Amino acid sequence: MKKALLTTALGVAVLFTTPALAGSGGATPSAENLNGALLASGCVVCHGQGGDSQGHIPSIDGLNKFQMVNALMEFKSGARKGTIMPRIAPGYTDAQIEAIASEIAGN
């Protein structure tokens, strides 16, 4: 029964490719995960949906990709001061920072 259900599910799955999946680069494991949608999903818990923050934490939806990459790279290097971002930014590779900025700011 399970097998039949899953065959149906997979059959349906072939019919649609979600935009999010289209950018995932398939499911081949690589050294670093560059999935922008998944990486950026961690940002919204503080900075709000699409970077539109409710409350005290700065919104980041007004930044373009260049500004966002720049800010994150500065937090990562220590050139830019902050409360928590200097702790967070070094956890991401340069390529992941690029993927996050693309996701939130667009290309």
Binding residues for other proteins (CB under 8 A): 1-3, 5-6, 9-10, 12-14, 16-18, 20-21, 24, 26-30, 32-33, 35, 37-39, 41-42, 44-49, 53-57, 83-84, 87-92, 96
Nearer to other proteins, 17 or 107 (CB): 17
CB of 60 to other proteins, least distance (A): 11
Q: Which is nearer to other proteins, 3 or 107 (CB)?
A: 3
Backbone φ and ψ for 33, nearest 5 degrees, come out as: -80, 120
Q: How far apart are CA 1 and CA 99, in angstroms?
A: 41
Among residues 57, 51, 19, 40, the alpha carbon closest in space to that of 96 is found at: 40
User: Whose Cβ is closer to other proteins: residue 12's or residue 106's?
Assistant: 12
- Give me the torsion for CA of 19, 20, 23, 28, rounded to 10°: -130
By the 8 A CB rule, do 75 and 86 touch?
yes
> Quick one: 83 or 107, whose CB is closer to other proteins?
83
User: Least distance from C-beta 105 to other proteins, angstroms?
Assistant: 18
